[in-house]
Amino acid sequence: NAGVTQTPKFQVLKTGQSMTLQCAQDMNHEYMSWYRQDPGMGLRLIHYSVGAGITDQGEVPNGYNVSRSTTEDFPLRLLSAAPSQTSVYFCASTLTGEETEAFFGQGTRLTVV
Amino acid sequence: EDQVTQSPEALRLQEGESSSLNCSYTVSGLRGLFWYRQDPGKGPEFLFTLYSAGEEKEKERLKATLTKKESFLHITAPKPEDSATYLCAVQGAGTYKYIFGTGTRLKVLA
C-alpha cells in the first residue's frame, strides 16, 4: 500500500519553463489537494478536487492548473514558472474531504532560477 | 476569514520536561480541528481530529484538547524522538478547505 506518491522529489526550473508535478494515491480517496509550504507561511492550499472531473481553487491558485481525470491521479501544472513559485509542494488525499485525516506525500522541492 | 495561529513558533525542552503547544482559531462553524506532526524533509503525518469543545484525545505522550477558541497539544515527559514541527489545521462548516497554522518547531534535548 503506497499511500500518496509524488514525483519528482526535486526539480530545478528556469524562469518561464513549464512542468507537471505528479501525484497519485492508491486508497480510493475522493478528495485530493495540493499545498505549497514556505518558511514562515505554513501550508497554503493551491487547488483541490472532491472527485474525478471536479476541481476548485484554494488560497493561492494563480500560476497553477489542475485536472482530475481519474480518482487516483491529481497532477499540478506550472504554466510559466516564476522564482516566486520556489517552494516545497505537497499533495494530500482524504477519504471524503469532510472531517477526515489527510494523507500527505513526501513532497516536491522546486527551485525556479 | 478562517484563521489559525500557533504559538510558540519554536520550543526547546529538556527530556522529561512537559509543556503545551497552542493553536488559536477563528472559523465559521468548526467542522474539525486537526493536529499533524512533520519531520524535516517529510510530509505531515496525522495525529488527531477534534470535533467539539471539551473533546480530548490521547496518543502515547501526546494529548490534544479543544475549546471554542483554541486547542492545546500537551506533551508529557517528552523524548528526543518527539522533536518535530507540529501543525494545527481547521476545516469550517460547508467547505472542503483546510486552513493550516504555521506550526511549532519542537526540539527535545537529551
pLDDT tens, B63-96?
A: 999 999 999 999 999 999 999 999 999 999 888 8
Q: Is the pLDDT of residue A99 over 70?
A: no
Q: What is the CA radius of gyration of chain A?
A: 13
What digits encode the pLDDT tens for the residues B9-63?
999 999 999 999 999 999 989 999 999 999 999 999 999 999 999 999 999 999 9
Query: Using one digit for the tens of pLDDT, what is the confidence trace for A64-86?
Result: 999 999 999 999 999 999 999 99
Whether B100 and A43 have beta carbons less than 8 Å apart is answered as yes
At A1 the pLDDT is: 61
How are strands ordered across the β-sheet holding B19-26?
B3-7, B19-26, B70-75, B62-66, B56-59
Give which of A104, A107, A111, A34 is closest to A76, Cα–Cα: A34
Residue A109: its H or E element: strand A108-112
Question: CA-nearest residue of chain B to A101?
Answer: B46
Which residue numbers of A have CB closer than 8 Å to B's CBs?
A: 4, 31, 33, 35, 40-45, 48, 50, 56, 58-59, 90, 92, 97-107
CA distance A58 to chain B (A): 7
Q: pLDDT averaged over chain B?
A: 95
Task: State yes or no: pLDDT of A97 exceeds 80.
Answer: no
Q: Interface of chain B against chain A, CB under 8 Å?
A: 4, 31-32, 34, 36, 41-46, 49, 51, 87, 89, 91, 96-103
Residues from chain B that touch A35, judged by Cβ atoms under 8 A, are 100
Positive or negative: CA dihedral B51, B54, B60, B62: positive
Q: Give backbone dihedrals phi and psi of B81, rounded to 5 degrees, phi first.
A: -70, -10
Per-residue pLDDT, B93: 87
Chain B residues close to A56, C-beta within 8 Å: 96
Q: Does A98 contact B31 at a Cβ distance shorter than 8 Å?
A: yes
A11-66 residue pLDDT tens: 999 999 999 999 999 999 999 999 999 988 889 999 999 999 999 999 999 999 99
What strands, in cross-sheet order, belong to the sheet with A64-66? Answer: A4-7, A19-25, A76-78, A64-66
Q: What confidence score (pLDDT) does residue A96 get? A: 82
**Chain A contact set for B100 (CB, 8 A):** 35, 42-44
pLDDT of residue A53: 94
Please give the DSSP secondary-structure letter assigned to residue B53.
T
Flag if A43 and B96 touch (Cβ within 8 Å): no
